[in-house]
Chains A and B, each alone.
Chain A
Amino acid sequence: QVQLVQSGAEVRKPGASVKISCKASGYSFTSYAIHWLRQAPGQRPEWMGWINAGDGYTRYSQNFQERLLISRDTSASTVYMELSSLGYDDTAIYYCARRELGGVLYFVHWGQGVLVTVSS
């Protein structure tokens, strides 16, 4: 079965960076794109960016363009999301999600989420 397993909770100080992993299993890793979304407490999900796990192509939301880096390790079937210059408003749960094949974008499979807390 398809699984996306993310790394554990993180606490960072303002100005620091955080790197979260998303390990995929149960499918051909390089055949799908992985997207990253986040959700602040009590808020709607916010799309951050995506990576084509096959060729490594990435695209980022303009809201994160200058401080977001998404990468992948095909040998480990793992995608990474690194967010730098953290501020208090980056406190959120960060999810990876797999885009289904086909022309229409939607997310069936999600990671369990990682709580990132930015606190001094």
Chain B
Amino acid sequence: DIQMTQSPSSLSASVGDRVTLTCRASQTISTYVNWYQQKPGEAPKLLIYFASNLQSGVPSRFSGGGSGTDFTLTVSSLQPEDVATYFCQQSYGAPWTFGQGTKVEI
């Protein structure tokens, strides 16, 4: 199975800060990475698919990048509503695995 490792596990930042979350795959997976945002009591919400494609309706302050084994999710200007846990997921092959999450606080 492909292991996905996220860092940091948690972070605290201020409103307006630029924040970058990292995800590393245990093997090369091209750009087959998705990013989800999850708030307490809710299902995950897709933000980015195929490493850098912004899902419709998601604010443009979210962006994704990377290829191979190293990937990033960047929030250009952190907003109060961005408080959540963020998960990366590899879509290279089954079983489709997730990172352990990064909890973002303000």
Contact = CB atoms under 8 A, between A and B. Distances in A.
Interface in B16-49: 32, 34, 43-44, 46, 49
Interface in B84-99: 87, 89, 91, 94-99
Contacts, number: 47
B7 interface: no
Interface string A58-79: 0101110000000000000000
Contacts of A107: 34, 44, 46
B71 interface: no
The contact size tier of chain A is 20 to 34
B94 A47 contact: yes
- Label chain B's interface by main secondary structure: loop
B100 interface: yes
B52 to A, nearest CB: 12
B62 interface: no
B66 to A, nearest CB: 15
Interface of B: 32, 34, 43-44, 46, 49-50, 55, 87, 89, 91, 94-101
Interface of A: 43-47, 59, 61-63, 95, 97, 104-108, 110-113
